[in-house]
Amino acid sequence: MAPENFVRTPQGKELAFLCLDLGYRLADRVQDLTRGQINFLVAAYNYRAELTSLMARLQRDEGTTGWVFME
C-alpha cells in the first residue's frame, strides 16, 4: 500500500496522530529512520495539510456549516 493511501486508513491515521500530535518517535535519531518511515511521515504531514486546508476553506464561507466525511 502506498504511503499516501496508508495514512488514510484507520491504522495510518492512528500512527500519524501518535507521531504528529503526541510526539511519538519512530527512531531515536533522524538518521536512524528508514526510507519507509520517512515516506510515511511525509505522507502523513501532507494529508494533515490537505485536511487543514479543506477545513480552512469551509470555514471561510460565513453562514455555512462544513462537513468533512471520513471513513
Partner 1 sequence: MADMPKQSSSPKDSLTKEDILAGRERRETLHLDAYGKVVVIRPLTDGEFTEVFKLFGDVPIDERGYPDLSKVDVHKNLVALRKIAAMALIEPKLTEEEVGHMAFGVPGAIAHRVLEISGLAPGSSDGARKFRADAAR
- Does position 50 bind partner 1 by CB under 8 A? no
**2 vs 47: CA distance, rounded Å:** 13
Q: Which is nearer to partner 1, 42 or 55 (CB)?
A: 42
Upper half-sphere CA count for residue 62 (Cβ side, 13 Å): 0
What residues from 29 to 48 belong to the interface with partner 1 (CB under 8 A)? Answer: 29-40, 42-43
Q: Give yes or no for residue 23 binding partner 1 (CB under 8 A).
A: no
Q: Cα-flanking dihedrals φ and ψ of residue 65, to 5°?
A: -110, 125
Tell me the closest approach of the beta carbon of residue 30 to partner 1, in angstroms: 8
